Structure 1
Amino acid sequence: MEASSKIRGGAGAAWRWLVGPEPWTRRRTAGEAVLALLMAVLAAGTEEILGGDGWRPAAVAASATVLSLLRRRFPASVLVVTGCLGPLLPGYVVLLMLVGWSAGRHIGEAGRALAAFTASYVLYVGTTLLNTWDWQAALRLAFVSTLYFLATTVVPGLAHRYWIQRRTLLHALQDRNSRLLRERSMVALQARLRERQRIAQDMHDSLGHQLALISVHTGALEVDPELTGRQREAVGVLRNASVAAMHELRQVVGILRDGTEAPVAPGPAGTGAVDESRRGTAGIEALVEAGRAAGKEVELRRAGEGPPLMAAADHAAYRIVQEALTNAYKHAPGAPIGVELRHEPDAFVVEIVNGPPAGPAGDVVSGGQGLTGLHERARLVGGMVHAGPVDGGGFRVAGVLPYGAVEAAPLVDAADDFRQQSTSLPPREGDPVMNWQADPLSDLSLTERELTMALREGGTPRSRTGGVALGCGIAAAALVLLVIAGGFGIFFLMSAVDKAMIDPQQYEAITVGTAEQDVRNQLPSGDSVATSGLHGKGPAEPEGSQCLVLMSSDVPDDITVETEPVFRFCFKDGKLIEKKAYDVRR
């Protein structure tokens, strides 16, 4: 048991060492495993195709797997090792691309990345030259190796590094832009608060003074002994109405000043001034009773039970009933009115329906803003209000309000749906609490709004499309560079083949004893990368001679044959002293 625990602990430590400080998700772990398996299969298959036998393909596959898994943890070291072993192990051709791509991202400092790629390049070219042992074609071989290394390693690394730097820059721009937006919103909020305080002060000084005078004069008039009982009752109603108006004004001033409702002291009975216990659904019954006392036919119905409403929603319900009853009194005099409060499973519904008016409405004073204000009240608490006529000539006002706190939906103008609405960012942790959706940054320019929407976290479809377009552009540029490098390589290879290949008939036409200069005039120079590695693989050369080894232009019918024919011409003392045709192992 203890041994198994130690084994599991050691395996866990090895895994943490492998993944490094950046944790691997299950998705990344599965992707790395599949990628390592793919590298192993490609490396083994390439080695097998290019003539590897025995344990060599399996060893190359195992080493490719290890290097693939270590490329994130040690990007510079893996890049250098792969560049050194690449010329010796043809199976590393795909692994070299993957390592270059990964190193471009995970090597942080530019100087360290340059040093790693330079060291890998030097080792790659040096190993290539040492592996051929043909110093006559060293320059051409170094040129081809350079093109190959640039195409397979440097280009993917630069492309990935550029992509990462661009993404980092966009994140930095996004963070800076969001900070500027929040700062501007806070400045605008402070300006609005100062303006609201000024308005509250003006209302308190002007309306408060006038209402206080009305209350004082009506109070004095109410005790006038010359008034009849009916007149005294009417004056009492006026005084109570002025007191109620003062309570309402105090509450509005409190909301304007600091955004909170001021506590309202209980008013005298029959004044219409509702206390704090009635400033919500609890006060709806008092509104209905007041209507009945005024001779109106008002019916109140309740249905269902549910959780209590939050304070803002509770107050909105009260205001919906109050405004609907006021409108019914004005525009449908004498009509029966039904008020229903219904607790649904997911919301609280308040519905006010009045029938057709029993008589002419006459001239009524209306500001035309009541229903608009109800819509805005409901929106700010996450609800909605519907108002419209019903069959038979009546009118219906219905509000749906949530039980809990719900973020208000953004206000979008239907006539401006071309992504030109102001965009507000959600507050970050530590920012002052404020209603970001309720305070959009309407003073932003179109360019700033487009930049904000393009740099939002998570990205919009436009930003994702831009990322795809950038990736396609990088891939296209890399493809063009690969095509150019491939064209140079093909041109160089064809030139090298022309300098290293003759027909068998041409070999037969040359006889031993012919002057060296005449023979060389008939044959290519053989100074080509294609003949690299052919010297010293055939029969022993005559002592003191200089030999020219060329390839045969005949292509064998069986491509699986592991040998190829070559022709050798040896010269001494200005004459051709020997010519031989033999096969060499590839």
Structure 2
Amino acid sequence: MNVTTKALDVRRRLGAAGMWPRRRIVGETVLALVLALLAGASVLGEGVAWMAGVAVAAAVASLSRRAFPGSVLVLVGAADGVFGGFWAVLMVASWSAGSRIEAPRRALAVFAASYVLCAGVSVQQAHFALSAPQTLLFTTLSFLATAVVPGLASRYRSQRRRLLRALHEHNAQLLREREIIASHARLRERQRIAQDMHDSLGHQLALIAVHTGALEVDRDLTDGQRQAVGVLREASVAAMHELREAVGILHDGTPDRAREREGEGEPAGRGVSGIDGLVTASRGTRAVVELRRTGEVRPLAPAADHAAYRIVQEALTNALKHAPGAPIAVELRYEPDSLVVEVANGPVPTNEGRRPAVSGGQGLTGLQERARLVGGMVHAGAGADGGFRVAGVLPYPGREMTTFGDTTDDFRGQSGGTVPGDGGEVIDWSGPPDRQKEFDIAMGSKKKGVVIGCGAAVLAFVVLGVVAVVFVVKLVGSEADKLMVDPSVYHSVQVGDTEAVVRDKLPHGKSFLAGALNDDAGAPPAPKGATCSSYLSTGDWPDEGSKAPAYRFCFRDGKLIEKRAFMSTS
């Protein structure tokens, strides 16, 4: 990687902050200010310049930890060893590094380098009067609590989120494959149904067309009978054409084009223009059918145009079937915003001697669904005169009108786009949402994962805290045994006693606080050429003030040459 590439990478990482949401920017700013105050307070006695420099360094480290997690962690580890007040910054930097450094070896190397710098600088600085092993042990415990535990918790959280995302995508892929398999099964079944329709209904309709064609030219028929047979023949031919299209749609979703290949013309229009043919065919059955048009003729969308044709066709069929002999009125009213199609029949003259017609009960339901998909509606019910009325309202293209029904249930998937979820988010239709929800429940919620991660972090903090407390207690107890002398021992020794006898009565071992006590400002000047040892008194200490009773023993040439009591200010 050359210099230009590195510069571009740095620019890209720094520019990522420009895409942060407002809440994140505010949070990062507040966090940087808090960390800067904590770091600056650690050097309170070093002057304003030092405080300002340390605070600025902490703020910069906090703001850049996401773009450069490894570098910031190493530098903050070294700064914590120098100042000792970067522990909060170290926690935040390790949290970011744990989740953003993906390669395990690189993460281990970064944390190890940060620890080595932190421990090495701490041993060199010796903020407290501790020996090198004691400083190293204390620094190790502190680094474990402030760097390792947050880094591991953050890494666990990040890996769990990636795992759940991968499993979610895998589950969505399985659901898509299952839907594809089900779709193929439906297509095979549709093809089987289409073949059955072609073999059975096609054959029967062909026979009807042939026989009615032969009957139409029979010389024994009257003109009225011959006209009725012609209507039957035309109906059978139209039914065959519709069956061909239905079979083609069932096969591959496209109409059958056999008529075009055979040179046949298209059947009568199946829109508003074809309603005249429906009325004419109905009159051929000796029914009284009246057609009225009002308003300025307006074009309709293809789907709405076909729906108008189907409404009239179904309504005429029902009227002829259930109310034979009753007058029928078909009306097309072109309103300003929609076309109103109305078919009404009068009451049935008489029911005597007539068998009830067979009905499947699905015709009106299909009309209502067809009209709903184009933004319209269909109403059917008894008329005021005892007859029956079917009315449909179909909008013009590009016109805004009230939707008569829930058009969001688009069973053909024609709406496109996305659908907002309960929380305003966009649902990913890569898999059925209800099944994805079941998957999320089975895998566990995000809150559960956060609770587990936080619980592990708290447990680690508690364990390290207990270890630190035990270490401090033992350290204090050990130092007390090495540094404190009972007043009776001080009074029992006399100047001139041999050093061996006096040393035998004094505490054994070297205390790391003894040097500070020997150099205490309250201690009297030491005799020239003498070796002195100072100890704190176990007697009564003053209730107020910062001074403590202390004893000093000075030796020269193997004898005690001086013992002094003073008030230590250490």
Question: What TM-score comes out, normalization by structure 2 length?
Answer: 0.73
Give the match for residue 8 of structure 1: none
* Deviation of the 1:67 alpha carbon: 1.2
Decide which moves more: 255-264 or 212-221.
255-264
Match of 1:170 in 2: 164
Q: Which residue of 111, 128, 131 maps to 2:125? A: 131
Q: Deviations over 1:372-400 (max 9, x none)?
A: 44455467x47575656468565556577
SS in 1 for 2:190: helix
Q: Which residue of 1 aligns with 2:505?
A: 518
Q: Contact between 2:36 and 2:59, CA under 8 Å: does it hold in 1?
A: no
Confirm whether residue 283 of structure 1 aligns to residue 282 of structure 2: no
3-state SS, counterpart of residue 568 of structure 2: strand
Matches within 5 A, 1:528-539: 531=513, 534=516, 538-539=520-521
- Mapped to 1, the partners of 2:443 and 2:542 lie a distance apart of 52
Q: Which residue does the alignment assign to 1:409?
A: 410
2:437 is matched with which residue? 453
Q: Tell me which residue corresponds to 1:260.
A: 254
Q: Equivalences for 1:551-562 in 2 at 5 Å?
A: none
RMSD: 4.6
Letter matched to residue 204 of structure 1: H
Provide the secondary structure at the position in 2 that maps to 1:357. coil
SS at match of 2:533: strand
Cα shift at 1:249: 1.1
Match of 2:216 among 207, 222, 242: 222
Residue equivalent to 2:424: none
Three-state SS of the structure 1 residue aligned to 2:115 is helix
1:200/1:257 contact within 8 Å kept: yes
Mapped pair 1:84 → 2:78: yes
Classify 1:182/1:38 alpha carbon distance in 2 versus 1 (closer, same or farther; 3 Å). closer
Look up the SS of the partner of 2:471 in the other structure: helix
* Equivalent pair of 1:507/1:567 in contact (CA under 8 Å): no
- Does the residue aligned with 1:160 lie in a helix, a strand or coil? helix
1:493 pairs with 472, 478, 482, which one?
Answer: 472
Alpha-carbon distance in 1 for matches of 2:265, 2:271: 10
Aligned pair partner of 2:101 in 75, 91, 107? 107
Contact 1:44/1:91 (8 A) holds in 2 = no
Alignment of 1:225-374 (within 5 A): 225-262=219-256, 275=266, 278-284=269-275, 286-288=277-279, 290-291=281-282, 295-296=287-288, 308-309=300-301, 311-312=302-303, 314-332=305-323, 334=326, 352=342, 354=344, 357-359=347-349, 363-374=356-367
- The aligned length equals 515
| Amino acid in the other structure paired with 2:219 | P
Tell me which of 26, 31, 34 is aligned to 1:38: 31
Contact 1:535 1:549 in 2 (8 A): yes
Q: Distance in 1 between matches of 2:212 and 2:253?
A: 32
Aligned pair in 2 of structure 1 residues 292, 212: CA closer, same or farther (>3 Å)?
Answer: closer
Question: Could you tell me which residue of structure 1 aligns to residue 498 of structure 2?
Answer: none
3-state DSSP of counterpart to 1:581 = strand
Contact map agreement 2:298 2:334 (CA 8 A) in 1: no
In the alignment, the residues of structure 2 paired with residue 360 and residue 25 of structure 1 have an alpha-carbon distance, to the nearest angstrom, of 83
TM-score of the aligned structures, taking structure 1 as reference length: 0.72
Contact 1:382 1:408 in 2 (8 A): no
One of 156, 160, 184 as aligned partner of 2:150: 156
Q: 1:50 to 1:17 in 2, by over 3 A?
A: closer
Q: Does the 8 Å CA contact 2:145/2:464 hold for their aligned counterparts?
A: yes
Per-residue CA deviation, residues 550-577 of structure 1 (Å, 9 max, x unaligned), is 699979979xxxx886857456458684
Is the CA contact (8 Å cut-off) linking 2:272 and 2:308 kept in structure 1? yes
Kindly provide the CA deviation profile for residues 500-537 of structure 1, in whole angstroms up to 9, marking residues without a partner as x. Answer: 469x998877637463343428xxx7857xx5994675
Q: Which runs of 5+ in 2 are unaligned?
A: 1-5, 399-406, 413-426, 495-501
Within the candidate set 446, 450, 465, 1:471 is matched to: 450
Structure having the higher Rg:
2
Deviations for 1:214-240, whole angstroms, at most 9, x for unmatched residues?
Answer: 222222222222322222222212211
SS in structure 1 at match of 2:446: helix
